Chains A and B, each alone.
Chain A
Amino acid sequence: MNTSSSQPTERRDQLLADSMVRTLLPEELRELEELAGAETDTLMKSAEQAAVSAAIAFAEMDSEVNPVPESLQARLYQQAATHFAQNPQQQPMSLEQGSEILLGPGSERRTGLSPWVLTAAAGILALIGWLPRLTSTDALSGEELLQGLVAQAPTDLLRLDWTALEDPSSIGASGEILWSDSEQRGYMRFRGLAANDSAQSQYQLWIFDDKTDTKYPVDGGVFDIPAGNNDVVIAIDPKIRVKQAFQFAITVEKPGGVVVSKRERIPLLAAAPS
């Protein structure tokens, strides 16, 4: 690059223009500092602002770029869930932060608190939104609780029965799942699902979204089935937004759950009719 024949202003502006499309080399940066002096930083920032503004303008006018691939979008959601799960300083908030309620599956891994498990013998927790508000003295059966939920549910409530697949944990198991896309929450009820040893394995919920690749279901979180409880209701608290749920699966995973399931053990499945 020949600078000896260039006027200082001309050369300075050339370097600033170059900085708008690439990283200046160290020697170019030193040259710019010699030419612009104390104004270098200001000029560089202004050049970058201009480049960014123009790039956004070009992007907004660009009708030829294909939309974001669905598989990439799904990976972004999954990656975000993983990132925030692995970074305690950025733990996802529960929907009612600070409340004793709403500790859904997966909350143990993120918050260190016990998962919210409501048994038929001890219905003790207050719920939010479209869910009925219970007091600590309430003791509803699983059936009463779910009937209450349905009575106040949003219009897009999806209610599906679990189907037990071939797995030792789900022999004779049944139950149902209630989910609302608009509310982004729901509940699962399990009858007869085997209790797990949380030091050995945990159950994990996966939500299949009709708007994303089925290879990348949304992680609905991990949960435990306590020993001695045949009828258990668990709140769902997905880590990322589910646009249109159409299928739910329970897998058995290592403690804490996994980012991508190998789907080796699938005790239960619930699918909307196609």
Chain B
Amino acid sequence: MTPPLLPSVALGDNQAISACIDRYSGLVWSLARRFLRDLGTAEDAVQEIFVEIWKVASRFDPDKGSEVAFIATLTRRRLIDRVRRQVRRPEDHTIVEEPEATEWLPEQELAGREDLERAKQLVASLQPQQREAVELSLYHGLTHNEVSTRMEIPLGTAKSLIRRGLDQIRSRVATNTASLPSPS
């Protein structure tokens, strides 16, 4: 298992800082490039995200999850915030109150290595059409309408594929979702 870098980054260790960029810039770049589409915007986002990584590095706790999950969680939140700021999606037209930017919760538990392995296996095992729909929605950040257009399938079908795929991932990947409680 690769030792985490963030504790050393938090202390300003030059080698760890460089290694952190080398190790995770590809992941952050992939997520940003897919989520934001515009090259310049994606580059700006990656720079912003790394500044935040430097700021919160000391909050990483290896006992609460993997380092890659820490960085990917932060990255996704910032990308989602960015998309929300940039584009008001068609289904969001009723917004009257802008949600607050998502905050980083250092005490939050993160996906562990086993979760990541399960996710990889599950994603690989999804039916091709469902996998594509989930990938476009979750990884590329497309709206239901955009997924429908891209895949040339009815909107209802797109919604259903995405929903079922996400449910499947959520119920089988996350550590606390083995048995979902019923709402009261």
Do B176 and A46 touch across chains, with their CB atoms under 8 A apart? yes
Judged by a CB distance under 8 angstroms, whether A16 is at the interface is: yes
Partner of B116, one of A29, A56, A92, A238: A56
* 1/0 contact string of A34-71 vs chain B (CB within 8 Å): 01110100110111111111111111111001111100
* A46 and B170 within 8 A (CB): yes
B176 A80 Cβ-Cβ under 8 A = no
Residue of A65, A66, A239 near B14 (CB, 8 A) is: A239
Instruction: Find out whether the CB atom of A56 lies under 8 angstroms from the CB atom of B10.
Output: no
Establish whether residues B173 and A76, one from each chain, have CB atoms under 8 Å apart when the complex forms. Answer: no
Residue pair B43, A53 in contact (C-beta under 8 Å)? no
Q: Assess A23 versus B99: contact at CB under 8 Å? Given A36-B183, A57-B123, A65-B30.
A: yes
Interface of B is mostly: helix
Q: Which of B163-183 contact A (CB under 8 A)?
A: 163, 166-167, 169-170, 173-177, 180-183
Q: How far is the CA of A22 from the CA of B170 in the complex (A)?
A: 15
* In-complex Cβ contact of B13 among A13, A51, A92 (8 A): A92
Interface residues of A (CB under 8 A from B): 1, 8-9, 12-14, 16-17, 20-27, 29, 35-37, 39, 42-43, 45-62, 65-69, 72-73, 75-77, 79-80, 83-84, 87, 90-93, 184, 238-241
Which residues of B pack against A, CB within 8 Å?
10-15, 17-19, 21-22, 25-27, 29-31, 33-34, 43, 46-47, 50-51, 54-55, 65, 68-69, 72-73, 76, 80-81, 83-84, 89, 91-92, 95, 97, 99, 102, 108-111, 115-116, 118-120, 122-124, 134-135, 137-139, 141, 162-163, 166-167, 169-170, 173-177, 180-184
